[in-house]
Chain A
């Protein structure tokens, strides 16, 4: 879902231009000259090529284009010449030179780097996924480049400078979960990208120290801008408030603004007043800073006047007395992100009972099962729910449970995507969800207590997850947890025919579990496993399938270097990385982390010392 801009790896189609927060473009080029009148009789090939190019330009999905390019040589060439949007799901799968060599007129790039488990500190710093070689190669080759979306890449300020100065038509920059840059890089973008429409910074690690930030907001040129989207809630330093207000005031096309927690309500309502046309608002701290005063009336007026708001997020330091200000906007909301707001059930009630049209809702488990029951009672159109833990430790008191899950399943039958953190769960609840919410595409249940069985029956959670894969026929993304035996994986292998992304942690009994999945799930693209007893036999059972996958991650499993070497030997186009936490583990048999992926580029030459390429 777009509203909260969290582009998880679930669905590559969605993580193309759409989820990168860029307004859906009409990416068809100006009609190619198709008229043959007045030209000498063309060769048969030329006619076909012209026709083909005109037809192919209607194909926008990279999957469709990949398929078209396989038909024959001339289709390959025609497709390569007309592809405008380049999606590279693993930056190490192909070299920049090769990508640029094939696709000559790219306008939009999506590039992903580190595997998702990097988000959870499982990959040491300096592993790779640097943007530098890419920008260096693209700067001279793609003069018409307009959009870049990077996820989990390391982006240096110098890279941003090159970006800002190399592409005169550059319009949209989206950085998700990236690191390596500071406000100096942002300043370069602001200053030089005169056609900038969107600057979307989502959950990046912006490396400024608090006090040393550059005033990048002031670097936008004076006068009217074409800015449509400005998202900077992850930037951890203060911004020039006057400059921000002025920028917003002179950006008449701005429809999305998400500010960081240095913006108090005192400033927020003024920004809202400057941009009554906003549809997406990130509210910053949503509290007043010392000595500022009480802005409840002003804020409520601002929300009443913002008739176009459909998506609200932020609330980074919520002062509960300000929450009622958003009531006027609730009825129109499609998306609400309260996942940084520590609110109780009672505080949620007046908000959520007004949100009849909500489709996306992110919240903290501090609202408890009762809060979720309220969601279920009101939000009949809910498509996506994420319940995050306030206390993300294994032993915390459970705040939400099977009760909340069942309530949601009964009230929100159109649910498509769920991420649910809890301490314990029951099979019955998960089965109920599988029966009630058959449209589920994404089911991610995180039972935080490792190896926790069904708390009512004491059984493993096999049957619950089994029901999910069996009943939810559209399921493409699954994350499992709790006490799970190989049986759970047998179910996944048997029924999970559309599953593309599977996340496994602390689960399974033996290599059979891994085998079931690798043999049974033909669409499996991304498999990430940690702390599960799968060894070399399981690893080798996927040899037939690994070339069809984007990657396999296994950490703290029972795989050995020997098994990995065997895979590397049998699959020459797989890059097999063994990542160690400590350099002196060179000769140990049990290995920590395996990351392997298909690649046309061969083993990378930028691997740090703690990465061994087999």
Chain B
């Protein structure tokens, strides 16, 4: 099982497509792999691998199921076992790929901070890495897990102010980060705002889980 897991991890890891990120997971927050997270911002993919190995086996089965449903016919139509990303395929010029990629650059604002930063949210494999990146970026924060639910909050240790990561989606609504599956978030997030918890009370969390 572990070998199979590793292989499928590599496949989706390399292809950048992560089926289980679309699953709402009940796993414990702060999967232990995240400890080595300093370099995550540049290593979204490898982080994804770590997550999977730490995650529940059910997630990987989901990936395999999803994959086999793609293979609609057997025999000649069988997909090669190793679906690692192939160089130069699909044939889209890097110029175009990069230009479209920039769609996923979002501005990050922190209440009370005078500057904006920009992050490429596509670079991260999931919410955990994103939060870690934010933590690093605004270096004053630490991440605290709320004991009563699985929300993540960022805390400024100097004054104990808690910030809740929120985002504005395509429809202009402000939502709590972590409400929707990761890929949906990537596709719909227009900008991020670390909102003071005290102001975030009217953003009701819908599904208070962040993996």
A residues sitting closer than 8 Å to B (CB atoms) are 117, 119-122, 177, 203, 205, 234, 290, 316-317, 339-340, 342, 364, 388-390, 392-396, 421, 424, 446, 448-453, 455, 458, 460, 483, 485, 505-506, 530-531
Contact = CB atoms under 8 A, between A and B. Distances in A.
B83 interface: yes
B85 A393 contact: yes
B77 A458 contact: yes
Interface string B93-121: 11111011011000100000000100000
B6 interface: no
Interface in B82-97: 83, 85-97
B80 A451 contact: yes
Given A392-B90, A394-B86, A446-B91, 20 more contacts: A120-B88, A120-B92, A120-B93, A121-B87, A205-B95, A290-B116, A317-B102, A317-B103, A340-B99, A388-B96, A392-B97, A394-B90, A395-B70, A396-B17, A446-B90, A448-B89, A458-B73, A483-B76, A505-B91, A530-B88
A561 B166 CA distance: 58
B101 to A, nearest CB: 10
Interface of B: 12, 15-17, 67, 70, 72-73, 76-80, 83, 85-97, 99-100, 102-103, 107, 116
Contact of A395 (B15, B72, B94): B15
Contacts of A340: 96, 99-100
A120 B89 contact: yes
16 contacts: A117-B88, A119-B91, A120-B89, A120-B92, A120-B93, A177-B93, A364-B100, A393-B15, A393-B85, A393-B90, A394-B86, A394-B90, A395-B17, A395-B70, A421-B90, A451-B79
Given A120-B91, A458-B72, A395 B77 contact: no
B144 to A, nearest CB: 30
Contact of A450 (B79, B95, B102): B79
Which of A177, A342, A424 lies at the interface centre, i.e. has the most chain B CB atoms within 10 A of its CB? A342
B100 A390 contact: yes
Nearest to B19: A395
Contacts of A388: 92, 96
A483 B92 contact: no
Contacts of B67: 395
A453 B76 contact: yes
B182 to A, nearest CB: 14
Contacts of A506: 89
A483 B116 CA distance: 48
B17 A389 contact: no
A429 to B, nearest CB: 16
A389 B76 contact: no
A120 B76 contact: no
A448 B86 CA distance: 11
B88 A389 contact: no
Contacts of A205: 95
B91 A449 contact: no
Contacts of B99: 316, 340
A395 B15 CA distance: 8
Contacts, number: 97
A512 B27 CA distance: 53
Nearest to B11: A395
Nearest first, the 10 A-B pairs at minimum CB distance are A120-B88, A458-B73, A453-B77, A392-B92, A448-B90, A395-B17, A119-B93, A122-B88, A203-B95, A120-B91
Nearest to A320: B170
Nearest to A122: B88
A292 to B, nearest CB: 14
Contacts of A339: 96
A450 B85 CA distance: 11
Given A316-B99, A458-B72, A460-B76, A389 B93 contact: no
Contacts of A455: 72
B87 A450 contact: no
Contact of B83 (A234, A395, A483): A395
Nearest to A458: B73
Contacts of A505: 89, 91
Contacts of B96: 339-340, 388
B16 A393 contact: yes
B64 to A, nearest CB: 13
A506 B85 CA distance: 14
A464 to B, nearest CB: 15
A449 B90 CA distance: 8
A313 B37 CA distance: 41
Nearest to A446: B90
A449 to B, nearest CB: 7
B77 A452 contact: yes
A393 to B, nearest CB: 6
Contacts of A446: 90-91
Contacts of B103: 317, 342
A89 to B, nearest CB: 20
A203 B93 contact: yes
Nearest to B72: A455
A234 B90 CA distance: 22
B104 to A, nearest CB: 10
Contacts of A460: 76
Nearest to B17: A395
